Amino acid sequence: MFKLTCQIIIGSYSFTQVNEVKIKRSIHSFVDTASIKIPATARLHTSGDLKTVSVNNAAASFMNEGDPVEIWLGYNQELQLEFSGFVKRVNAATPCEIECEGYSWPLRRKIILQNFKGKTLQAMLEHATADTGIRLSENIPNIKLNQCLFENQNGTEVLDWIKKNLFLTVYFSGNVLYAGLAYVELPQIAQAPKEGRKPIDGKLPALTFEREKQPVRYDMGWNVIKDDQLKFRKAADVKLQIRAVTFDKNNTPVTASFGDSKDPIRTIFVPYVSAATTLRELAAGKLNELKYDGYEGKITTFLQPFSQPGTEAKITDRQYKEREGTYLLESTEVTFGTGGARRICEVGVKISKKDEQTTGTVAGGTAENQ
């Protein structure tokens, strides 16, 4: 029997019951969002004090923009960290709604005035994220920047620049920022303490993380509730080669291509990267996004097994064996509340063939108690 449980921490407040939670995350966006709805009839109790205060009054008075937020969800107190970020806005309506944003929030409030010409992408990101609580991934590529000047732009505009001019994937996994080729970074899972998150001397202790080691397993007809948004595609039907183009200091074009030379060419311009090897990697990564045999689309699953953007998902299908394989999840949408809990996963690039042996964990089943 599965019972929905949660722990939500906002600033110095912690509660275990909500009306509704919605969370959206994607490897194609560095802005993670969440909304928390709490019934207006709920009361906040102050330890050691007989007085209580309504949630609406507490939200308006004590929950401020920028307060840290953690959302832990699961079954039977087996909780996973689904979202970490900050309060963006408090809507003291009925029910009370708290809008939250991930670690892009502190970057919006940091102004960058710096010339990064001749420096690396890593150095630029270290400068942009200093004193924000953001950690950088260990897999940031070694890209040297030829031209890059920011004048009174905020940190999120820096991330936008990276996406548009370097054609890189930029997203957060909690407070860890990744910028690089798509489908390289495997996400980390926060380790929840058995007794739940409790503050020590008024502050929450630092979390420990472990890199995902095994793909999550989704079986059609078992722990997949809906698959009507899935489509099947064939790599053979995608005739394409990618050509990446940049310009050196003398304004001479430098190109690198990946794919069958007989196929139609799609050109991408990379104006601030000079290494031909890097160009080829970018071209290969772009082609891999567009050409493969397998599924694309979305599946609706139970809250568990836990997955997040960047997770490897092993999909099995008893009716269509040729569609089986391991895929990268590109986005997740989580809903949790009085109506039950669901996770909508967007299936992305296929990274293995159906006959490759990959182990995973099946959870969720069909016996959810809501």
Tens digit of each residue's pLDDT (9 = 90 or more) over 223-237? 999 998 988 877 777
Q: What pLDDT is recorded for position 368?
A: 34
Residue whose C-alpha is closest to residue 89's, from 25, 50, 34: 34
Per the prediction, the chain carries an average pLDDT of 83
Percent of the chain whose predicted confidence (pLDDT) is above 90: 41
Beta pairing class for 241-247 and 265-269: parallel
Q: What pLDDT is recorded for position 212?
A: 84
Q: What pLDDT is recorded for position 282?
A: 82
**Cα-flanking dihedrals φ and ψ of residue 268, to 5°?**
-120, 140
Contacts of 153 (CB under 8 A, 6+ apart): 111, 112, 161
288 pLDDT more than 90: no
| CA separation for the pair 310, 204 (Å, rounded) | 27
> Would you state the structure tokens that stand for residue 226, as one six-digit string?
């809906």
| CA separation for the pair 280, 287 (Å, rounded) | 11
> Would you state the structure tokens that stand for residue 151, as one six-digit string?
């004048």
- Residue 336 C-beta-side C-alpha neighbours within 13 Å: 31
Cβ 361 vs Cβ 329: under 8 Å:
no
Buried b (16+ CB within 10 A) or exposed e, 343-352: bbbbbbbbbb
Residue with tokens 């079954």: 75
DSSP-H helix ranges across 238-364? 276-290
Lowest-pLDDT choice from 23-27, 47-51, 64-68: 47-51
355 pLDDT more than 70: no
Q: What pLDDT is recorded for position 272?
A: 67
| CA separation for the pair 9, 26 (Å, rounded) | 23
Cα 315 to the center of its chain, rounded Å: 20
Tens digit of each residue's pLDDT (9 = 90 or more) over 52-110? 555 555 555 677 899 999 999 999 989 999 999 999 998 877 778 999 999 999 999 99
Q: What pLDDT is recorded for position 48?
A: 47
Beta pairing class for 111-115 and 149-154: antiparallel
Lowest-pLDDT choice from 53-57, 131-135, 285-289, 353-357: 353-357
> Would you state the structure tokens that stand for residue 283, as one six-digit string?
């071209």
Which band of pLDDT confidence, cut at 50, 70 and 90, is reported for residue 303?
A: very high
Helix axis angle for 155-166 and 121-129, nearest 10°, is: 160
Q: What pLDDT is recorded for position 180?
A: 85
Which band of pLDDT confidence, cut at 50, 70 and 90, is reported for residue 313?
A: very high
Cβ 336 vs Cβ 306: under 8 Å:
no
